[in-house]
Amino acid sequence: MHLPAPPETYFSDHGKWYFHTHDSVMGPFHDKAEAQMAVLYFRQRMKWPSARQLHEFMDIGLPTRRDNHS
């Protein structure tokens, strides 16, 4: 299992976002907010989301994101 490390371990490389776990690097993500949401998903469910699960999770939690897709 890859446990998330402190928030200062988020980083960008070639326009994509990643973060360090205690034993690995997770990513790529489209932006830092998406990487942060992946960590939030993990903390709530104790598993890493697929891309589809992450986007559904973000749509539920962010009404403005949902409005932008209309």
pLDDT confidence bin for 69, thresholds 50/70/90: very low
pLDDT at residue number 27:
93
What span, in angstroms and rounded, lies between the C-alpha atoms of 48 and 67? Answer: 26
What span, in angstroms and rounded, lies between the C-alpha atoms of 39 and 19? Answer: 9
Q: What is the pLDDT of residues 52-68, one digit of tens each?
A: 998 888 888 655 544 44
Q: Where are the alpha helices (DSSP H) in 1-70?
A: 32-45, 51-61, 63-68
Residue 10 has pLDDT above 50, yes or no: yes
